[in-house]
Amino acid sequence: MYKQIKIFDTTLRDGEQSPGCSMNLREKIEMAKQLERMKVDVIEAGFAISSPGDFQSVKTVAETIKDSIVASLARTTTADIDAAWGAIVNAAQPRIHTFIATSPIHMQYKLNMKPDDVVEQAIAMVKYAKKHCADIEFSAEDATRSEPAFLARVFEGVIKAGATTINIPDTVGYTVPDEFYAFLMKVRELCPALDNVDISVHCHNDLGLGVANSLAAIRAGATQIECTVNGIGERAGNAAMEEIVMALATRRDVYGASTGIVTTEIMRASKLLSRITGVKVQPNKAIVGENAFAHEAGIHQHGVLKNKETYEIMTPESVGLTTNNMVLGKHSGKHAFRSKAKELGFELTDEALEQAFARFKIIADKKKVVYDRDIEALVSKESVQVPKTFQMDSFVINSGNKITSTAVLKLMKDDKTIEKVSRGDGPIDAAFKAIEKIVGIEMKLEDFQLNSVTEGEDALGDALVKISVGNKMYSGRGLSTDIVEASIHAYINAVNKVLYETTEKEQAV
C-alpha cells in the first residue's frame, strides 16, 4: 500500500507572482478547471486581501470548483483572515492558509518582532481563523533558516489552536536534500504533535533543488507537497508539479508514495499555462519540455525502435502525449530514417534507402530539424531515380547586379570529371548553360519552378525543371537548402532521364 501524497497547487497564487505571468479572471478560471480535472487536492486561488481583483478571482474560483479544496493565503492578521474567508466562504471545500515568518533574519528585519510575539500572534490568528473555517493551514515562512526548537514551539501552539496542516517551506530555496531531510526529522522529533496533522513543504527552486528537496521531504514524512505547473513562481520558481508527480509514479519502489493526479492531463495543463501566460518552458524541461520524449541520436533511436524502455523510463502516453518524437537530424541513424519513411508510406529498396539516406545526411548537416515534408520530398525524389549518368561534383557561381553571371560546373561521368564555364542571365541560367555544354545535347528549358518545402530560413528548396529534347518533355527535381544547388540537381536529374531513355531505345534496336 503506497502512502498517499496530497498535491497543493499554487500556480494561481505563487505562480502568478512570477514576473510576466499575471492572469485575468477568465484565465484563472480556465486554469483552475484544468487543475480540478487533474484531481489536484488543493488549489491555492490567490491572496484575497492583496487587491479587489485578486479577491474577486479567489471568490469566483471558490464558487466554481467543486472537487478540490480551494485555499486563500492570509497573513496572521484579522483583516487578512477576514478577506480570505470572505473570498472562499462559498467554496465546497474551503481552506484558510495563514503564515508568519519564523527565521531570525525575517523576524528582526521584516517583522520587527520578538520571537515570543511571533508565537503569540501565530497562535491567536490560527484560533481566529478556526472560528471561520475548519480547515486551517499554517506556514512558517523561511522555515529552513529557522531554529528547529523555535519551529517546534510555534507548531505545537498552532496545532493546539486548530491548525490541520503545517507547512514547512524552503522559502528562499536555500536548503539541500540531505540537510532538509535531517531538518524535518529533527523538527518532528521536537514536536510530536506533527504526527497528528498533514506535514506540507513548499520548496523554491533558487538552487535548482525544488523538486529534489520536495522528494526528500516525502522520505522525511511529508504528506502534502506545494508546487506549481511548469515550476513557475517568484524568482527561480517553485518545485514543478509534473516532475514531482511523475517522479513518485516512476519510482514508487524508492518513495513508496503516490498521488491522485490524473497524469494524462499533465501535458494539457502545461500547454494551457504557457498559452495563458505566454511563457514557454525550455525544450529540455523534464516531463513537459518539447524534447522530453524526443530522440535524435542514432543509437538512441535504434534502441527505442527495438524497445522503448531502452531510453524512456515513462511513456509519453502517461503524461498526455500520443507518441514519442523521433527527430530526424544529423545525429540520426539509418534505422530511424527507414522507420520514418515507412511511417510516411514509403517502402524503399535497400539501394533506394542508401541513396535517400546519403542525401538526408547532407541536408541534415545544413538544417537544424528535418521535417516530415522534407523526408517526403527527399524520398519521393530518390525513389524514382534513373541511373545517374551525370552527377554534380562542384559548382562556383559569380553573380551580381553589375556583372554578367558566370557558372563554373564540374560534373562526374564514369569516374571522370568534366568542367565547363558558361555565362547567363542570372546564376541559374548560367549554371544550366554550363550543364548543356558538358552534356553536349541541345535542350530547351520549358519550365522552372522553385518552392519551399517547409518554413524558416533553413527550409529545403524544391526545384522542378522541365526540358524538351525534340518533341519529348522531361522533368527533373532537386532538393537543397541552397536554391541554386537545388536547381542544378533538378536540371541534372532531367538530363539523366533524357540519357536513360535514349540508352533504352538504342538497346531495344
Q: What are the boundaries of each domain within the chain?
A: 3-277, 294-376, 391-508
- DSSP class of residue 67? S
User: Radius of gyration over alpha carbons of the chain, in Å?
Assistant: 33
What cell numbers appear for 413 in the block?
A: 561521368
**Nearest residue to 216 via CA among 252, 183, 177, 244:** 177
Q: How are the residues of the chain apportioned to helix, strand and coil, as percentages rounded to the nearest 5?
A: 45, 25, 30
The better pLDDT of the pair 411, 295 is held by: 411
Q: How many Å apart are CA 40 and CA 68, to the nearest integer?
A: 6
Taking phi over 0 as left and psi of -120 to 50 as alpha, with beta for the rest, 112 belongs to left
Q: How many Å apart are CA 448 and CA 467, to the nearest integer?
A: 9
Minimum mean pLDDT among 35-39, 150-154, 372-376, 392-396: which range?
372-376
pTM > 0.75: no
Which residues, other chains included, contact 390 with Cβ-Cβ below 8 Å and sequence gap of 6+?
Answer: 411, 412, 413, 435, 438, 439, 492, 495, 496, 499
Mean pLDDT within 498-503: 78
Q: How confident is the model at residue 383 (pLDDT cuts 50, 70, 90)?
A: very low
Cα dist from 124 to 111, 117, 147, 157, whole Å: 17, 10, 21, 9
The better pLDDT of the pair 445, 181 is held by: 181
Minimum mean pLDDT among 25-29, 271-275, 445-449: which range?
445-449
Q: What is the pLDDT of residues 2-39, one digit of tens each?
A: 999 999 999 999 988 777 778 889 999 999 999 999 99
Minimum mean pLDDT among 232-241, 341-350, 357-366, 388-397: which range?
341-350
**What is the residue type of 282?**
Q
CATH superfamily, region 3-277:
Aldolase class I (3.20.20.70)
The architecture (CATH level 2) of 391-508 comes to 2-Layer Sandwich (3.30)
Strand-strand pairing, 403-413 and 416-424: antiparallel
Tell me what pLDDT residue 369 has.
Answer: 67
- Please say whether the beta carbons of 48 and 87 come within 8 A: yes
**What is the residue type of 21?**
C
The dihedral formed by the CA atoms of 343, 345, 348 and 353, expressed in degrees to the nearest 10:
-50
Q: What is the pLDDT of residues 164-178, one digit of tens each?
A: 999 999 999 999 999
Tell me what pLDDT residue 455 has.
Answer: 63
Cα dist from 122 to 102, 128, 225, 314, 466, whole Å: 10, 10, 22, 43, 84
Q: Would you say residue 458 has pLDDT above 80?
A: no
Q: Would you say residue 326 has pLDDT above 70?
A: no
The better pLDDT of the pair 355, 78 is held by: 78
Tell me what pLDDT residue 180 has.
Answer: 98
Tell me what pLDDT residue 399 has.
Answer: 92
Q: How many Å apart are CA 480 and CA 413, to the nearest integer?
A: 21
Q: How confident is the model at residue 338 (pLDDT cuts 50, 70, 90)?
A: confident
Which residues, other chains included, contact 284 with Cβ-Cβ below 8 Å and sequence gap of 6+?
Answer: 291, 292
Beta bridge partners of 44: 71
**What is the residue type of 467?**
I
What cell numbers appear for 376 in the block?
A: 517526403
Q: What is the pLDDT of residues 82-133, one digit of tens each?
A: 999 999 999 999 999 999 999 999 999 999 999 999 999 999 999 999 999 9
Tell me what pLDDT residue 324 has.
Answer: 66
Q: How many Å apart are CA 384 and CA 62, to the nearest integer?
A: 64
Average pLDDT, the chain: 88
> To which H or E segment does residue 120 belong?
helix 115-132
- DSSP class of residue 240? B
The dihedral formed by the CA atoms of 209, 7, 42 and 152, expressed in degrees to the nearest 10:
-60
- Write down how long the chain is: 509
Tell me what pLDDT residue 58 has.
Answer: 97
Residue whose cell numbers read 494524462: 264
- Please say whether the beta carbons of 62 and 91 come within 8 A: yes
Question: Percent of the chain scored above 70 by pLDDT?
Answer: 87
CA 279-281-285 angle, 5° bins: 165
Question: Percent of the chain scored above 90 by pLDDT?
Answer: 62
Tell me what pLDDT residue 325 has.
Answer: 61
Cα dist from 20 to 23, 31, 415, whole Å: 9, 16, 62
Q: How confident is the model at residue 504 (pLDDT cuts 50, 70, 90)?
A: low
Q: What is the pLDDT of residues 50-65, one digit of tens each?
A: 999 999 999 999 999 9
Tell me what pLDDT residue 508 has.
Answer: 54
The better pLDDT of the pair 379, 275 is held by: 275
- Please say whether the beta carbons of 290 and 316 come within 8 A: no
